[in-house]
Structure 1
Amino acid sequence: MTLQAYQDFLASKAIVDPPSGLDRIPQLPSFLFPHQGDIVRWGLRRGRAAVFAGTGLGKTLIELAWGQAVAEATGGMVLLFAPLAVSAQILREAARFGIPARLVRSQHECRAGINVTNYQKLDRFELAAFVAVILDESSILKSHDGHYRTRLIRDCAVVPFRLAATATPAPNDFTELGNHAEFLGVLSQTDMLATYFVHDSSDTRVWKLKGHAEDVFWRWMASWAVMLRRPSDLGYPDDGYLLPPLTRREHPVHVEWGPDIEGQFSFLAPIAKTMKERLHARRDSLEERVSKAASLTPHDEPYVWWCNLNAESEGLAAAIPGAVEVRGSDTDDEKERKVVAFSEGRIRVLVTKPTICGFGMNWQHCSRTGFVGLTDSFEQIYQSIRRFWRFGQTREVIADFVFAETEGAVLANLARKEADADRMAAAMVRHMADLSAAEVRGTTRTILPYNPAQPIMLPSWMVN
């Protein structure tokens, strides 16, 4: 097979999911920005689509407008899944813009129109009963074998309209893209990887695009997903979408060190190198770090402290007057009550973990945050800061990092990962920008060619 023949073969594989949405697009709410309105229209034409958009670009409004249009066109029930506590935020957004939506806890509470719940209640719903399913913060599909991923992909296979929305996916995490394609019924993750990717020769856990398949892959992606970090990525003006400054402040804490993790003494501070050594350094410096963090907390404005260990969270909540701790052991209702209270200004200082509150919340009313327990997960740090540093924020965002001198180069590692992620995300958007702009603005349509393979046999009464 020649290279051209193989490229033609790949091209033939690319178009496997033609538009299956609405033929007639209803009039959309006038409050949508141009890029939001065009994305909604594109998603309605597609029927099953993904929106990978940066924080603050209006994914919630896109979801609500899309769901309202589908509900009105079909008369059916739409179910919108969101992370814990984000469902209440979505309800407030819907009420603000006059879009009918209701919070539901189980199947029997659902009615025609938009029904909003959280992922933790997934097992209480029969998804086949809904005309549309919307996934807010659809990065929940990232887990290869997670409960939510498996159930959503399996049970939504019969749902005619599907929308997945999240921030731009993790660069080079092509399995996340595959999970989205599989949820939307475009192509299974296995088939996507086999068609467009090969294993990295140095690490078989990493997938790399086949060199000659790169253009075809991004064209295929742009047929069912739109990706943007700012409106100008799709050719729209960035008016109102300029971020304020972000300042990161480092606060190294001196610790009187004792024996290292092996019980050995040294005249020099034992700098952690392994994960085990870092955990040891964090525990040994807990009291000093908590004390430093408490002293940095302002007395007259909202603040969120992000922790890594339970002891850090407990210590900060006790050291800061009026601080409220959101723990993993809290019930779902208790977590939601505390997070909503902070969102509405009834709690001034919140102490929690990125794994609990680091995704989905819009906290532009707060511009101060800090980390007293660092992690090597760039995504957790990035997402936590993005709760505040997002479009709609009007003030400089200040993020404090409190760490022990003995913790090693954690911040340097995070900075390196951030630079890599920015570079890779820019490449992904650059590859898809023109293609996505054409799709979203409706200048191209994905139509399968009609190639009849059987002759038409007319009945005898029509021949005569």
Structure 2
Amino acid sequence: MNVDYLDFVRSKTKQDQPSGFECANVGFGGLSLKGFQDHIIQWALRRGRAAIFANTGLGKTAMQVTWAGHVAEHTALPVLIAAPLCVARQTQREASKFGVHVEYVRDMPATPEGVYVTNYEMLDNFDPEAFAGIVLDESSILKNRDGKTRRKIIDDWKACPYRLSCTATPSPNDHMELGNQAEFLGIMGMDEMLAMFFTHDGGDTSKWRLKGHGRKKFWQWLASWAVTIRLPSDIGFEDDGYILPTLHTHEHLVASEYGDDMFTSIAQSLTERRQAKKETLDQRVAKVAEIVGKEDSEHWLVWCHTNDESDALVRSIPGAIEVRGSDSIEKKEKAINGFLDGDVRVLITKPSIAGMGLNLQHCARMAFVGLDDSFEQMYQAVRRCWRFGQGREVHSHIVSAESLGAIKHNVERKERQMEDMQAAMVEHMRYAMDSGRAADVEKTDYHPTVDMVLPAWVA
């Protein structure tokens, strides 16, 4: 084959080269990590900018604080970890177990050095130029493509040389959110990813699907900068100690407005669903209160989605403590820490508030007063208790109404999408991690050389 032609083909290949460094011994202070954790940390340090999508209980905190510690040590510059509410304090406590000192801060230190952790709400208080690295804990915060927070994080930290994105699952049913992760890491912009790997789904330009012929290329590209691990065996290690206990999911249906003697109309539109939720609120809350009351010696997590549901649950469950979005950070922390310490038996809150990152495995009972269409929120909420390290069987009660059946089917569809996506990522991942190869993507650059001439009628 003509050598000039080979050079031409190579010139069309866009590479995201690893920008990190080698680190043979990742444990601090003689403390050892699990073999698969060690392997992932070395790979992420070598990459410099990487994503770790590790299942709950596989030690994301251990991996991210160790990664941050080595980046701070290698560069002699500070590293910042951004985490959800209460998770920042939990990260600080966990880090000490792995020989890494992490300081919890809410404002920019006067003379920053070492590793810091803060809440996402405080991120505006820090100067990105002062840091060598940033870690996004529970980076699914990036899922809202048009979100102000997402855009600001990407723009403010785009010059930071070391970036790590960590979450149990990147919006597990949504390929599109992977573009947000790639954009934060500086791998590729969202619009470029869409143009390269996706096509509009029919007439609905807001929906995208993978191009059939580019599917394999997409997963290979993704696996070069992100590791997805459901079990240690996904990357060639033993699963000893990482077998989940049984999860018992109990479904409870309350009667809709017309009772059992008439055909129930299934709410389809958003307006119909809101109305159906409003009409069945009292029945759903009463059922949850009944379930929680039957096991009054257990700690319970009760998940809701609206303030009306939260108010009704507090009135119906004796001794329950509520955490809502309008509460101050201090009040939220006090309630959640009270539940962690065992002083609070029943915690009522929304998945959007406490469904990310927290380790609540002292609790093995939870109840949902209803569902919404976000499978990710439900997945994350269940995983606060059902995670590696949980020593008991977990019982999850889902209370819904007959008229809300469409939501259940939508959530189940998204669960199947998640399983397909994770299987595809794992299939291509191991080779990319072991080889350390760059992310190669064929790209055609456009360099116009002829001026466009518009017809007179257009001009």
Q: TM-score interval w.r.t. the shorter chain? A: 0.7 to 0.9
- 1:348 counterpart letter in structure 2: R
Contact 1:104 1:110 in 2 (8 A): no
CA RMSD of aligned residues (A): 2.4
Give the C-alpha shift of residue 103 in structure 1: 0.5
Match of 1:39 in 2: 40
- Distance in 1, matches of 2:204 and 2:431, equals 31
AA of the residue aligned to 2:361: Q
- Of 379, 383, 386 in structure 1, the residue corresponding to residue 383 of structure 2 is 386
Moved more, 417-426 or 239-248: 417-426
* Alpha carbons 1:219, 1:435 under 8 Å: kept: no
Partner residue of 2:99? 98
Distance 2:55 2:73 in 1: 28
Deviation at 1:251, TM superposition (A): 1.6
Counterparts of 1:58-457 in structure 2 under 5 Å?
Answer: 58-108=59-109, 111-171=112-172, 173-254=174-255, 257=258, 268-297=263-292, 298-430=295-427, 432-436=428-432, 439=433, 441=434, 443-446=435-438
Identity value in percent: 48
Show the counterpart of 2:447. none
Distance 1:178 1:295 in 2: 43
- State the Cα deviation string for residues 410-456 of structure 1 (Å, max 9, x = none): 334433332333233223322x23334xx2x4x444499xxxxxxxx
Residue number in structure 1 paired with 2:17: 18
Q: Secondary structure at the match of 2:58?
A: coil
| 1:68-104 deviation digits (Å, cap 9, x = unpaired) | 1111122211100001111111112113333201100
Partner Cα distance (1:387, 1:191) in 2: 35
User: Is the 2:26–2:66 Cα contact (8 Å) retained in structure 1?
Assistant: no
- What does the per-residue CA deviation read over 1:352-396, in whole Å, with 9 as the maximum and x for residues that have no partner? 111111111111111100111221221111111111111111211
1:51 aligns with 2:47: no
Deviations along 1:227-255, one digit per CA (max 9) or x if unpaired, are 22111111111111111111111122235
| Conservation of the 8 A alpha-carbon contact between 1:77 and 1:110 | no
> What is the rounded CA distance, in whole Å, between the counterparts of 1:293 and 1:138 in structure 2?
31
Conservation of the 8 A alpha-carbon contact between 2:154 and 2:184:
yes
Determine the C-alpha separation between the residues in 1 that align with 2:383 and 2:57: 9
Letter paired with 2:341 = E
Aligned residue in 1 for 2:445: none
Distance between the aligned counterparts of 1:186 and 1:200, measured in 2?
A: 25
Q: State the distance in 2 between where 1:28 and 1:204 align.
A: 48
Which whole-Å CA distance do the structure 1 matches of 2:416 and 2:439 have between them?
A: 39
Aligned counterparts of 2:375 and 2:399: Cα–Cα separation in 1: 16
- SS of the residue aligned with 1:158? coil
Letter in 1 for 2:429: A
Give the 3 Å change call, closer, same or farther, for CA 14–114 of structure 1 in structure 2.
Answer: farther
Q: TM-score, normalised by structure 1?
A: 0.86
Q: Does the CA contact (< 8 Å) of 2:158 and 2:184 recur in 1? A: yes
Instruction: State whether residues 26 and 42 of structure 2, in contact with CA within 8 Å, keep that contact through their aligned partners in structure 1.
Output: no
- Structure 1 gaps of 5+ residues are 259-265, 449-464
Change in 2 beyond 3 A, CA 1:366/1:13: farther
Read off the aligned partner of 2:109 and give its amino acid letter.
H
The structural deviation recorded for 1:281 is: 2.3
Alpha carbons of structure 1 residues 181 and 271: separation in structure 2 relative to 1, 3 Å: closer
Q: Distance in 2 between matches of 1:219 and 1:267?
A: 52
Would the aligned equivalents of 2:36 and 2:237 in 1 still touch at CA under 8 Å? yes
What letter matches 1:230 in structure 2? L
Distance 1:392 1:110 in 2: 38
Distance of 1:27 and 1:269 partners within structure 2: 59
Which one-letter code corresponds to 2:285 in the other structure?
A: V
Structure 2 gap ranges (5+): 441-459
Relative distance call for 1:68 and 1:157 in structure 2 (3 A) is: same
Correspondence for 1:461: none
Secondary structure of 2:15's counterpart equals: coil
Contact 2:314 2:348 in 1 (8 A): yes
TM-score by length of 2: 0.87
Q: Give the drift of 1:159.
A: 1.1
Compared CA separation, residues 39 and 197, structure 1 to 2 (3 A): same
DSSP-derived class of the 1:408 partner: helix
